[in-house]
Amino acid sequence: MDFRLNEEQQMYVDTVRRFVKNEILPNILQIDKSHEFPYGIIGKAWELGILNLSIPKEIKGFEMDAVSTALIIKELSYGDTGISTSAMCNDLANTVIAQHGNARQQEEYLGPYVKAPLLASFCLTEPGAGSDNSSMSTFIAKRADGKYVLNGAKCFITNASYASQFTVFCKVGKPAAQFLACCIVPAEEMFRDGKPNVPAKPQTELAAKGGGRIVIGKPEEKLGQHLSNTATVTFEDVIVDESQIIGDRRQGFKYLIDVLDYARPMVAAIGVGLARRALDLTLQYTRERKQFGQRLCDMPVARETLVAMWKKVELAEMALMKAAVKVQERDEDRGMYSSLAKNTAAEAALYCANEGLHLHGGYGFMQEYEISKLVRDAHIIDIYEGVREVQHMIIGRELV
């Protein structure tokens, strides 16, 4: 495997690094403390072309491979994982359309994201069905006129309060059904007077394009990742046309696996970005901080921790790159390596954030030091897109 970046990939990395350095890092603690959704930053990311990376070239005009996508998300996550989570969740919602939607669906449901910095939500998790997707109860029921009615509630949905379109996984026919479908639910008004209809404050209700209500709960108050929006979404008698259902309405579970195989390396990229930031902050601090007449980084016990942090970051990045290549090449064992990358990167993020805070001593516990923010942000990386135990189940199933 050639680890050298090609000219185009290096351009992406350099562009995102400049963006992070100029637009995110200078005021990240103040922005994070405000808990305000950073739509301005996301809009600038869209202008740079580092949003909506999964949209095919037939719609967007150029192709973004999985390795380049992982590199971009990793660099964006170095600045803030809340921002990169919101950006990545656009792709999480739109990848299934890119992979399994027909040409008309891709044009209709992906085209708007090329025209404007709109946000999308991926609706999978439910209050009673976290990792156990078979227990979900949201469902579509067919009416006499051939259209469907969607009802149900989803929780922990990223971008929900600002989304213009929802990718919804649901049961077919009734809540206890075995088959899953994937349907696209656009808001009635994605554009207003030719401009993207992104609310200035969290929205609480939307009219679905075909009829029915989309009710958005109060934004969740989270331990970390304050710059990503998370809320519940309830679909009440939402009318779904046959054309809004992606692929075969009974193949939703297969489509879901394909999406998660793509998404987990991107979550790994978020973890690697955070771990790298924690390492860099800790190196900087321990080079400047003196104790017992010497720099903290020169003390054997501190240096041992720094070496362990560096190893975690490097190993996670190698796992990420292998998984991204596997996804890019559509290898049969890509799911196994996606799970490996996700777990390895989450472990690196948690370790580097926690040990980095430890080496900062009492100062690390103060909110004016960025390392304390990274500790709060790191924990969700070990949870979303499947907790570590689920990844172990996937790897174990493939092994035997």
| C-alpha atoms less than 13 angstroms from C-alpha of 96 in its C-beta half-sphere | 32
What is the per-residue DSSP string for 252-319? HHHHHHHHHHHHHHHHHHHHHHHHHHHHHHHHHHHHH-EETTEEGGGSHHHHHHHHHHHHHHHHHHHH
DSSP annotation of 220 reads P
Task: Compute the distance between CA of residue 89 and CA of residue 40 in angstroms, rounded to an integer.
Answer: 17
Q: Concatenated DSSP letters for 360-397?
A: HGGGGGSTTSHHHHHHHHHGGGGTTTS-HHHHHHHHHH
| C-alpha–C-alpha distance, residues 51 and 44, integer Å | 9
User: Which pLDDT score is estimated for 207?
Assistant: 95
Please state the pTM of the whole predicted model.
Answer: 0.96
Phi, psi for residue 16 in degrees, rounded to 5: -70, -40
Residue 332 annotated to the active site? no
Q: What is the pLDDT of residue 132?
A: 85
Q: What is the dihedral of CA 205, 33, 46, 279, to 10 degrees?
A: -140
Find all residues with CB under 8 Å of 35, minimum gap 6, and list them: 226
Is there a contact between 246 and 148 (Cβ–Cβ < 8 Å)? no
Torsion of CA 33, 35, 39, 41, to 10 degrees: 20
Decide: 326 and 334 in contact? Cβ < 8 Å: yes
Question: What pLDDT shows up at residue 1?
Answer: 60
45 vs 175: CA distance, rounded Å:
39
| Angstrom distance (rounded) from CA 36 to CA 305 | 35
400 residues of the chain, pLDDT tens digit each = 677 899 999 999 999 999 999 999 999 999 999 999 999 999 999 999 999 999 999 998 888 999 999 999 999 999 999 999 999 999 999 999 999 999 999 999 999 999 999 999 999 999 988 788 889 999 999 999 999 999 999 999 999 999 999 999 999 999 999 999 999 999 998 988 888 888 889 999 999 999 999 999 999 999 999 999 999 999 999 999 999 999 999 999 999 999 999 999 999 999 999 999 999 999 999 999 999 999 999 999 999 999 999 999 999 999 999 999 999 999 999 999 999 999 999 999 999 999 999 999 999 999 999 999 999 999 999 999 999 999 999 999 999 8
Identified catalytic residue from 23, 126, 347, 385: 385
Six-digit token string for 51:
């949003």
What pLDDT is recorded for position 196?
Answer: 87
Rounded to whole angstroms, the Cα distance separating 109 from 317 reads: 33
Burial class, 176, CB count within 10 angstroms (exposed 0-12 / middle 13-18 / buried 19+): exposed
pLDDT at res. 197 = 85
Instruction: Sketch out the chain's domains with CATH numbers.
Output: 7-115 (1.10.540.10), 120-250 (2.40.110.10), 253-399 (1.20.140.10)
Residue 134 neighbours by CB distance under 10 Å: 9
What pLDDT is attached to residue 129? 85
